[in-house]
Amino acid sequence: MNNYEENKFNYVKETIVDKKKRKKQKMKKALLVIMALIILGSGTVLAIGQFFWDRPIDESTLSENETGEPLKVILDGSQGKNLGTDQYAKLKEIGEESGSYMVTVRAVVSDEDWIDSYMEGEGVTSGIIVSIGKEIRILTDYDTIQHADTIVVKFQNGDVVRARILGNDTNSGISFLTLDSDELKSDTRKRMTEAPIGEATASEPGTPAIIVGNPCGENVYMTLCLLTSTSGSVHTTDDSYGVLLTDAAAVGRENGFIINAEGRVIGMISPVAKKQDPGGVLAGLYISDIREIMDHLAEQEEMVFLGVNGQEITDEIRNLASREMPQGIYVKSTGINSPAFEVGIAGGDIIVRMDGKSVSTFQNYEDILGEKRPGDEIEVAIMRKVRDGYEEYRYTVILGKR
C-alpha cells in the first residue's frame, strides 16, 4: 500500500438477512462444496475428519482427529493411484503434521455474523504460523481479510482467538497477523510449531507435493498434486516473484500453502501468481521470495515505492527483438502519480542504472531499492528508443512509501 492509493480498509456495515434467504444461501453453499469435490479430478483431496479411500487399506493405520473420528482419504485423480504405498503414507503424514502450524483465518464484520454463518465460505482462508513468542505471528492472504473489522483464528484443536493485523502488502497480496500467546489454551501452545520454510528452487517439476488450505470454508483440505513448473516468475510493481505451478484444479476459494515431499512449506497459493495464467490450476508464490516482505511487516518498517511495472530483458528477448536493445529492465508501465511517473519515466523505457549501479536483472533492481527508505533520492538512468537507436536520460527520483 502506498501514498498514491486510497486506504483499502473499508468497514462493512452489518445487514439483516431474511431467514428463508439465509437457508437458501447455506443450501447453495453446501451444493457448491459437493460440486467442488466432484470437480477436483486432477488432485487427491483429503478433508480432515471426513476422508474416504477408493482402495483397500488396513483401518488400523488410520489416525484420529481431535474428535476421535478416523481420517480417511478421497482419491479422485491419477496422481495418488500412481504413488507407492510408502510414498503416499509419507505425504499423508506430512499433511497431518501440518496441523501444528496451519490455521484457519476468518474475516468477519461482527461476532454475530461469525456465529450465525460459521460454516459459510465467505471470508475464510488459511494461514501458517511463522513465529512463536509472546506474540504469535501468522502469514495469510490480503484479499480475504481486507474489509474485515474482526479477524478470528482457529487452530486445529478447535481453539479460537482474535487476531490483529500487523501489516499488509497489496503488491504481493499478503497480510501479517499477530495474536497474544496468553490468549491461547495451554494445549494449543504445546501443540503448535513454526512452519518449516523451504526453498522452492530445490524442487524439480514432476515431483509430488501437497496443498493444504480452506477452499470450501471452515474444513481444512489437503490436495495431492504434482509440481508442473518451478522456474516461472511474475512481475508486479517494483517486485518479481518466483511462481510454482501445480496440476491441482482451482476450485472454490483459492488459498493455501504448497508443501514439498520433505515437509517444508515452499509456496503460498495467491491470485498474484495467477497473472502467469496457469489455466485453471493452483499456482503459488515462492515463500522464499516473500520472506523479506514478511520481515518488513514484522518490524513494521516502511517499504519504498518507485512505481515501475517492468520485465527483465533476457538474451532470448534481445534475440527476438533486436540485439541493439540495451540490457536492463524494460518498463511496461509506471503507476499513475507514482514517483517514476512524476519525473517522466514511461512505458518503453529501459532502466540500465540506479544509484550509479548497473541494473541488468530484476534482482539488481530489487537489491538497490531495498537499500533505500521512503523520501530518499535516487538517480535512475534509462535508455529510450529514438529514431537512430537509443538515447540515455537520467532522472532524480524521490522515492515514495509503498
Encode pLDDT of 79-123 as tens digits. 554 667 788 888 889 999 999 999 999 998 665 555 554 444 458
| Buried b or exposed e, range 337-369, using 16+ CB within 10 angstroms | ebbbbbeebeeebbbbbbeeeebbbbebbeebb
In whole angstroms, give the CA distance from residue 245 to residue 42: 13
pLDDT at position 52, please? 27
pLDDT at position 219, please? 82
pLDDT at position 62, please? 32
Residue with cell 504413488: 83
CATH 3.40.50.300 fits domain 304-401: no
More confident residue, 254 or 84: 254
**Cβ-contact 269, 283 below 8 angstroms:** yes
Average the pLDDT over 27-49 and give the result: 47
In whole angstroms, give the CA distance from residue 298 to residue 296: 5
In whole angstroms, give the CA distance from residue 323 to residue 315: 9
Exposed, middle or buried: residue 78 (CB in 10 Å: 0-12, 13-18, 19+)?
middle
pTM for the model: 0.78
Cα 161 to Cα 30, 76, 215, 337, distances in angstroms: 26, 35, 21, 40
Least Cα distance to 384 among 337, 352, 339, 355 occurs for 352
In whole angstroms, give the CA distance from residue 301 to residue 118: 35
pLDDT at position 50, please? 32
Give me the phi and psi of 339, to 5 degrees please: -55, -40
Residue with cell 481453539: 159
In whole angstroms, give the CA distance from residue 130 to residue 103: 11
**Cβ-contact 332, 347 below 8 angstroms:** yes
In whole angstroms, give the CA distance from residue 84 to residue 88: 6
pLDDT at position 33, please? 46
In whole angstroms, give the CA distance from residue 57 to residue 88: 12
More confident residue, 45 or 382: 382
Q: What's the pLDDT tens digit per position in 270-316? A: 988 877 666 788 999 999 999 889 988 888 888 999 999 999 998 88
pLDDT at position 298, please? 86
Q: Where are the domains of the chain?
A: 304-401
Cα 31 to Cα 280, 281, 286, distances in angstroms: 21, 21, 33
In whole angstroms, give the CA distance from residue 3 to residue 123: 27
